[in-house]
Amino acid sequence: MSVKITGSGSYIPTKKILNSDFSNHRFLNEDGTNFRASNEIIAKKFVEITGIEERKYAGEDQVNSDLGLIAAQKAIKAANIDPETLDYIIFAHNYGDIKFGTIQSDTVPSLATRVKFSLKIKNPKCVAYDVLFGCPGWVEGVIQANAFIKAGLAKKCLVIGSETLSRVVDKHDRDSMIYSDGAGATIIELTEEKGGILSHESATHAFEESNYLYFGESFNKNEDTNVRYIKMYGRKIYEFALTNVPLAMKSCLDNSGIEINQIKKILIHQANEKMDEAIIQRFYKLYDQSVPEGIMPMSIHKLGNSSVATVPTLFDLLINGEIENQSIEKGDYLIFASVGAGMNINAFVYQY
């Protein structure tokens, strides 16, 4: 018996935002002063560092739970299950439902409850709750589902990762170009197949690192100071991730009983292309090995950073052959890993 992903689904919004669409933005420094560089130079350096060429935004008539619902419906269909048989619905997000053009987050009832309602599930023993764990939220939701199943408390769980970061960005902050919207979902089940989740690792570094990602006021000092936006200390996050994520991945892999040369793919949070590449290089260096070609599928170039949605969306695209020159086969060993606000880190080793 094993705990496996038996169905996956994703929803990628249709509204495409190119880097050139930011050309008329007035980007400012944290103290409110103007940049010396032009937006053209800013955009060029942005692509070199992040790899992001475009991103997707949710439609004006959509909120976060709408995106999560679509991904969930696809996952349920792929797993060919009756929604009434679900024991848990775990919805990972960070900012709730925010209607277009507003600043208020709506989290009552929970987004998981809203999805359960929309799926028309009558079973009261299907427990629905939300997870706020930064960008690693979906991975943590899978780890929790695995724990419920192994403890005999569940047989089937729906884990969703969905976010609409476009609703919480400061248009005067260059970092606003990073963020995007999207949703991914998976059915986690107890099966008679071999493999599945072999090991996992989670950690929260909060003694000095808790506010590396935070909610802060606009860089434009003329804006309402009571309105808050997603902010980050990029250099601190980069240094933190390079030090701690490879170590967490190594601990997770060592506990799995799988050798590093058996790993076929690493599905890592799509935060920043250069950072992700550096993390993988550090990880392989811990084993005195070079990084195998094609080990790290990427979706950030066209989809941007959609927080909790990046990893499940990447997985869904990968298994459906929608990532160029990337594929996995039955029996392949994978590492899922993420890092984000908290600062939280997690990973799990999985046999497909």
Q: Domain holding 219: CATH number?
A: 3.40.47.10
User: Which pLDDT score, from 0 to 100, does residue 148 have?
Assistant: 98
Q: How confident is the model at residue 37 (pLDDT cuts 50, 70, 90)?
A: confident
300-339 confidence digits (pLDDT tens): 999 999 999 999 999 999 999 999 999 999 999 999 999 9
Give the number of other CB atoms < 10 A from CB of residue 322.
13
Last residue of a domain, one of 156, 174, 193: 193
Q: Are residues 22 and 151 in the same domain?
A: yes
Last residue of a domain, one of 170, 193, 216: 193
Query: Average pLDDT in the 15-34 region?
Result: 90
Q: How far apart are CA 46 and CA 140, in angstroms?
A: 29
Q: How confident is the model at residue 89 (pLDDT cuts 50, 70, 90)?
A: very high
183-218 confidence digits (pLDDT tens): 999 999 999 999 999 999 999 999 999 999 999 999
Q: Are residues 60 and 206 in the same domain?
A: no
Domain count, the chain: 2
Tokens standing for residue 133: 């764990």
Q: Are residues 148 and 283 in the same domain?
A: no
Q: How confident is the model at residue 167 (pLDDT cuts 50, 70, 90)?
A: very high
pLDDT at 34 over 90: no
Q: How confident is the model at residue 242 (pLDDT cuts 50, 70, 90)?
A: very high
Q: How far apart are CA 166 and CA 308, in angstroms?
A: 14
Which residue is associated with the tokens 């792929």? 78
Give the number of other CB atoms < 10 A from CB of residue 67.
30
Q: Are residues 229 and 187 in the same domain?
A: no
User: Which pLDDT score, from 0 to 100, does residue 70 have?
Assistant: 98
Q: How confident is the model at residue 235 (pLDDT cuts 50, 70, 90)?
A: very high
Backbone angles phi, psi at 258, to 5 degrees: -100, 140
H-assigned helices in 101-180: 111-118, 137-150
Last residue of a domain, one of 149, 167, 193: 193
User: Which pLDDT score, from 0 to 100, does residue 40 have?
Assistant: 83
Q: How far apart are CA 238 and CA 260, in angstroms?
A: 24
User: Which pLDDT score, from 0 to 100, does residue 129 have?
Assistant: 98
User: Which pLDDT score, from 0 to 100, does residue 181 have?
Assistant: 98
Q: Are residues 189 and 211 in the same domain?
A: no
pLDDT at 108 over 90: yes
Backbone angles phi, psi at 140, to 5 degrees: -65, -35
Would you state the torsion angle of the CA atoms of residues 74, 79, 82, 85, taken in this order, to the nearest 10 degrees?
Answer: -120
Q: Are residues 70 and 142 in the same domain?
A: yes
Q: Are residues 185 and 213 in the same domain?
A: no
For 246, 266, 276, 280, 336, the CA distances from 205, given in Å and listed in that order, are 14, 23, 19, 20, 19
Q: Are residues 211 and 315 in the same domain?
A: yes
Q: Are residues 186 and 213 in the same domain?
A: no
User: Which pLDDT score, from 0 to 100, does residue 244 have?
Assistant: 97
Share the mean pLDDT of the chain.
Answer: 95
42-61 confidence digits (pLDDT tens): 888 899 889 999 999 999 99
Whether the model pTM is above 0.85: yes
User: Which pLDDT score, from 0 to 100, does residue 101 have?
Assistant: 92
User: What domain range includes position 261?
Assistant: 198-351
Q: How far apart are CA 267 and CA 106, in angstroms?
A: 31
Q: How far apart are CA 313 and CA 180, in angstroms?
A: 13
pLDDT at 39 over 90: no
Which residue is associated with the tokens 């780890």? 143
Q: Are residues 179 and 223 in the same domain?
A: no
Which residue is associated with the tokens 């030090």? 243
Residue in 90, 94, 189 with CA at minimum distance from that of residue 134: 94
Reduced to 3 DSSP states, what percent helix, strand and coil does the chain have, rounded to the nearest 5? 35, 25, 40
Query: Average pLDDT in the 163-168 region?
Result: 97
Which residue is associated with the tokens 């248009």? 171
Q: Are residues 204 and 343 in the same domain?
A: yes
Q: Are residues 82 and 153 in the same domain?
A: yes
User: Which pLDDT score, from 0 to 100, does residue 31 have?
Assistant: 87
| Bridge partner residues of 91 (DSSP) | 130, 160
Residue 254 or 28, more confident: 254
User: Considering the chain, what percentage of its residues have pLDDT values greater than 90?
Assistant: 89
User: Which pLDDT score, from 0 to 100, does residue 111 have?
Assistant: 98
Residue 88 or 37, more confident: 88
Distance between alpha carbon 15 and the CA centroid of its chain, in Å? 19
Q: How confident is the model at residue 35 (pLDDT cuts 50, 70, 90)?
A: confident
pLDDT at 154 over 90: yes
